[in-house]
Amino acid sequence: MRIAVLGAGAWGSALAINLSKKHQINLWTKDPEHAQEMNEGRINRSFLPGHALPTSLKITAALPEAIENADLALLVVPIAGLRETVRAIALRKCRVPIIWGCKGFESGSSKLPHQIVAEEFPDMLPNCGVLSGPSFAEEVAQGLPTALTLASKTSDFSRQIAAELHSPRLRIYTSHDVVGVETGGAVKNVITIAAGISDGIGFGHNARAALITRGLMEITRLGLGLGGSMNTFMGLAGVGDLILTSTGDLSRNRKVGLMLAEGKSLQDILNELGHVAEGVHTAQSVLQLGNQLNIEMPITQAVCSILHEGVAARSAVEVLLNREQKTEIY
């Protein structure tokens, strides 16, 4: 299969490396200098150092060249760049099926990726889907065992693409719940920041487990409110992704939480990371949607107060701990 991987960050590069073992891959970056650097050194020093880019992998900064004759476009740009990328594909009247791997809600509109695709490229709606689940780019690039969920409203499409992408070390499970898979991937980044803050303060493993569990409730309540399925939140794209990013030190969102607990400013943290931490940009959209649907989101509220209102991390956590007692399920 000829696959255009659009987005040469850590996740896009990792998928390109992994999938190049059995597919012809074109890796696209919008930055010509970045493309030249990767072509010359056969490595993505900016986002995935230490992992060679296979010689069979074609690198380009020209979108038409990347998607020409492609059987599938895999969009792994940040959520902020999804609309622009989909629009560029649509303007070329290219009918390539698309799968997106970005996580989050669009800033301003609070729309999920499938809603953006529906607005910009409605002709391709039967042949599109989302790829998500517990996956660190470093481990995917190494070829370590990973399991992901591919969700599409068109069952034949998801089964066909999953069969093409599936391998013993990159297992692909199918789902029809696009909303649930997208919501799980988006909201878990916010909860992960909270888990990082808790660990950074030194509250211990009990508190981390409580945050993950109560955070899963927030993900589930919002996801159900948006039309997702309960089963999805108990699977790879829900609890699986949440556990990985809330406990694994490769998680950028967890690192944000750890550094917030140290008292660092958000801007200094983002400068130090040098990569996108989607939870930072997603938190306000998640809280806004929760308010619109009258869904209580206390952990998300606490994270937003730290990120955007200048509340000290320890103070925000203390507010959470002092909430009134209530039943576990409500």
Catalytic positions are 188
Do residues 7 and 77 lie in contact, with contact meaning Cβ atoms separated by under 8 Å? yes
Distances (CA, A) of 200 to 197, 272, 283: 5, 17, 19
Q: What DSSP string describes 264-318?
A: --HHHHHHHH-S--HHHHHHHHHHHHHHHTT---HHHHHHHHHHHS---HHHHHH
Query: Minimal CA–CA distance to 38: which of 70, 69, 10?
Result: 10
Q: Helix or strand or coil: residue 250?
A: coil
* Residue 250 identity: L
Q: Helix or strand or coil: residue 128?
A: strand
Tokens representing 95 are: 């009918």
Do residues 3 and 71 lie in contact, with contact meaning Cβ atoms separated by under 8 Å? yes
